[in-house]
Structure 1
Amino acid sequence: MEQSTTNLSNSQFLAQNSLQLLEALAGESGLQHIVELGYAMFGNPVLLIDTSLKTIAFSNTEVKDDPVWNEYVTSGYASLSSVNYYTSNKLTLLVNQSEVPFFWTDPYSKYPRIMSKVVIGGKQIALLSIIAHEKPFQNTDLELAILLSKAIAIELQKNKFIHYSRGVMHENFIEELLTGKTKDGKIIQERIKVLNIRFSKNLYTLALDISRFDNSKTSLAYLRNELENQIPKSKAVIYEDKIVLIISYDDHDQFYKSEINKLKMFLKTYHIYAGMSRCFHNLEEVQEHYFQSLDALRLGMLLNEEDYFHPYEEYAIYHFAESSGVENLRKNCHPSLWKLIEYDGENNTDYTRSLYTFIIHSKNITESAKASNIHRNTMFYRLEKIESIMNIDINNSNTFLHLHLSFKILELLKIDLP
């Protein structure tokens, strides 16, 4: 009789907590609220970490005398020594193999734990730990851990990053680099060791615009995986309507020879535009070069829609030109260039185009004449006439640079040459 009463009491307790979790999920209260509910359910602190061993959430509780808890709460991730310890004593293996929550004790952690995987679509996304800091575990706690893990899985599926995640350890780390949350060199090196990621000395960020991608034929996850196959030394993540890759190679020239052509074909096949940053060498600079890749992508799509691949190096001068503000672009053009454009319009000549040809051929008279399909002497005459109309010395280095920049501004403003 007493056993039946106990079973009924346990069932009621579990049903009551199930209802609370269901109400929290329906009420859009958020992950932290669910974690705090977990604390109330167990009467013990709750910790949630992702598969990269980074802290996702924890209950608002002080556990000053437990080193593992404090490590996750203070630094936000596991140290290399902790990772090595739990790998050597088989906890990592046990978590991977276990389908249900289990009790765990070890000398490194002061208090016993319940360890429970959080699984989405058959893949582990996170690990839930309950710490017996305030009271010993009860008979129902393993069943409660199952309920809480399922509720957390449902909540995490609302998060777009988790939705696209493969449960691969590097993805959260890359997101931190992209957002600039992690910029400390020492922390980055520690995380690289923990995650066992290797980067070569030459780094690039590549951003692909997927805002208009038709995923009715091919999934974004498949596309991302294919990109990593196309560029073997890369790590990819789906982030803010982009697929973003951090690419690393020892040899810059070899990368361009072996991979860029394959990448261009890939982009053309799927009709996707991409921007790539300049080469850099420190992971602390990922966010800065991610912004470079976005600028290259934006300017490339504006100025050259026929190409799908846009390296920042080809658009840096345009980026510089617009840095003073779009409203000032026209003012930054060389004033005499407008005079030449006006002259061509009134006299049905094409001196502006001749000047542009001369500039893009780096003041090479022979190549400029050839590109214009005129005699070399005719090119000389045109340049003298241009100097007369504009009242400038084309060979002055500052004037030449200003004119070059001015033509780039015309491209940005979508002003066609006469």
Structure 2
Amino acid sequence: MFKKILIANRGEIALRIIRACKEMGIETVAVYSDIDRDSLHVHMADEAICIGPANSSKSYLDIKNIITAALITNSEAIHPGYGFLSENPKLVEVCKMHDITFIGPDEEHINKMGNKSEARKTMIEAGVPVVPGSESSTTDSSEALKVAKEIKFPVMIKAASGGGGRGMRIVYNEEEFIEKFDTAKAEAKSAFNDDLMYVEKFIEEPRHIEFQILADKYGNTIHLGERDCSLQRRNQKVIEEAPCSIMKDDLRSKMGESALKAAKAVNYVSAGTIEFLLDKYNNFYFIEMNTRIQVEHPVTELITGLDLIKEQIRIAYGEKLEVSQDNIKINGHAIECRINAEDTDKNFRPSPGTIEDLLIPGGYGTRIDSHIYSGYKIPPTYDSMIGKLIVWGSNREEAISRMKRALDETIITGIHTNIEFHKQILENESFVKNKIDTSFLEKEIISR
């Protein structure tokens, strides 16, 4: 097994990886920017090295600095977490040049599945259902408009290299198409340095369902069931659940088979996520593959009993999967609430600052993944998520009750958080009855 791993990330995911490594007897190296020197992951790692200033382009996104830190500390492998460089094929390439193992897929898989237009072509060839739309990406708004007319409005404009809701627009008629296309294209260029776009049919009232997969170097590929990630604001996930409570065994089997087919189509190796839209008639469509660990991976861990970070590390080291598809049993129900430092009364404006009082919830079936502590100063530089509260229950009803109790226990003062917003969602009658889709928050919570 690896003796030392460098974690090319920050915050809760860096701490999550450090904990898994400690349990495996692996030494860890934390990297940090100037503004992050007091972050908990820096103190919890065996070693820590500063890689630059607060600006992420000069620290967490600087491949040269990351590789230099790995070489200086004699790290054998790099775990990228999620975000930042986690889906950057150049980092994988440079790791190989320096004989450092990248804990994730090869650059070929990232390139093929990271470009949504290319991934779409691959899935069509593999026989995986896809949303009707563009056969190739383009920067030409007139060409894109022709596709939109063919598949009929409403349509979704998407950035080929997009993610996190950026470079994405819903268009309901021809009159607004060109303007929205050009706006989305400019946003994509700014966010990803790539203004290639594509168009697909907008599926109304869908659920966002994703399947967690694991694949080793020996051709063994399994899925760990699904997560329902339908509760989103501006295409950013807010609450995730596993499993999806409306999922019948036959539909789960069909979607699981398609997820495996998608992974095998590119000979994928590592942990990954196949994402689908599920319409109200139980038709499902591939939308993308995430070639990294997901923010919401803990809900899958709680219902399967598998540690996904450890599985990633073992796969990267070259070990075979110790579990088969027949071994995977779904037990109970898990819910994750993303805790953000934001003022929900002021259009979810980020709320950096110093945490004064902090009380973390506990009790049976309750887990919190977070890097914050009393006195910690949340920087204004990065994403506003400061933790994830995850609960397990024997069924969805118990999980909701446990989450409400855990949120009530949670105290974070000195900054604004979205804890009350989560409570509002959990009290909503439609949510309790599981009558949700990707537009739920905008219709039921935010607009009221």
Common fold: TM-score over 0.5: no
Greater share of residues in helix: 1
Which protein, 1 or 2, shows the higher relative CO under an 8 Å CA cutoff with sep ≥ 6?
A: 2
Larger radius of gyration: 1
Greater share of residues in strand: 2
TM-score, length basis structure 2: 0.22
TM-score, length basis structure 1: 0.23
